[in-house]
Amino acid sequence: MCDFVCVIPHLSSASLLNFTYFFMRIITCIIFILSLSPLSSKAQFEQFQDSVVQLYGVVMTADSLMGLPGVSIMVKGQNRGTLTSDKGVFSIVVMKGDQVEFSYVGYKNKTVDIPKNLEGNQYSVIQLMVNDTVYLPATILKPRVTRQQFERDFVNTRIPDDDITIARQNNSEANRRALMASLPQDGREASQQFFRQQSRKMQYTGQLPPQNIFNPLAWAEFVKAWKRGDFKRKN
């Protein structure tokens, strides 16, 4: 068994008194700092809580005072916002000093500034949206000079395909083969291909895998692909 001996150096009474005084000052400072931490956190929380504002109101048309549904309400500089209800009513949480933008198709954008010195935590607005008039260039319609010119243009005018014809063209075999050759695999196809390769490796673990060069079925598929033109160079 080993004996542990702690050797304490001899201190004079004055040195011991100075050390005790210094140690007590450190303890007092630590207690003072710890006592101020909750106060500072509480003050920061109260300041943040005072700066939060509940913005609510209604968005209407300026001419008929009808509520506008689906108006986009965004806080500038932030990726958050809301939409008005079917009656034009909205509510959103903002901060004092924020800028809120109202936008709607066919109407001019409006911006509302939240006062920085607002008293309280609620702010209501009635936002009126004004029609945004867009002037298009003038279009002049003129008749054909002669009946023969009208008949010629009418016969040679190409009528665009309808939706059914466009769907048939998009689903044709040639288009589908071109898309299969040009489009990359998605995540599902890539994962299935990976699992098939792993399954094939596990199936022939410890032995040589079969060579398709001696497989007559593989040769038949190769001849069919050659006739289809799968090996042609695609520009």
Q: What is the pLDDT of residue 39?
A: 47
User: Does 78 fall in a domain?
Assistant: yes
Residue 189 domain flag: yes
Give the pLDDT band of residue 11 (cuts 50, 70, 90). very low
pLDDT at 177: 85
Q: What share of the chain is helix, strand, coil (3-state, %, to 5)?
A: 45, 20, 35
Distance CA 33, CA 35 (A): 5
CATH code (residue 62): 2.60.40.1120
Same domain flag for 161 and 191: yes
Residue type for 118, please? L
Q: Which of 19-23, 69-73, 120-124 has the least mean pLDDT?
A: 19-23
Contact 62, 128 (CB under 8 A): yes
Q: Are 54 and 108 contained in the same domain?
A: yes
**CA distance readout (Å), 110 to 3, 6, 115, 215:** 84, 79, 16, 73
CB atoms within 10 A of CB 46: 10
Candidates 110, 97, 103, 114; CA nearest to 71 is 103
Strands laid side by side in the 89-95 sheet: 89-95, 52-61, 122-129
Which of 129, 160, 190 is at the close of a domain? 129
Query: 178 pairs with which residues across the strands?
Result: none
Contact status, residue 169 vs residue 160, Cβ threshold 8 Å: no
Share of the chain above pLDDT 90, in %: 22
* Judgement on whether residues 102 and 146 belong to the same structural domain of the protein: no
Write the single-letter amino acid at 94.
V
What is the end-to-end Cα distance of the chain in Å, rounded? Answer: 88
What pLDDT, on the 0 to 100 scale, is given for residue 2?
Answer: 46
Tell me whether residue 107 is in a domain.
Answer: yes
Residue 226 pLDDT level (bands cut at 50, 70, 90): confident
Per-residue pLDDT, 60: 94
- Structural domain count of the chain: 2
- Per residue in 28-62, pLDDT tens? 777 666 665 554 555 554 555 578 889 999 999 99
Domain that holds residue 174: 142-200
Q: pLDDT tens digits for 111-154? A: 999 988 888 888 999 999 999 888 888 888 887 778 888 888 88
CB within 8 Å of 63: residues ≥ 6 apart:
131
pTM for this entry:
0.43
- Mean pLDDT to the nearest integer, 86-108: 92
Give the DSSP H/E element, type plus range, for residue 103.
strand 99-104
Max avg pLDDT among 11-25, 96-110, 211-225: 96-110
Mean of all residue pLDDT scores within the chain: 80
- DSSP H stretches of helix in 94-235: 147-156, 163-170, 173-182, 187-203, 216-228
Residue 86 has what pLDDT? 92
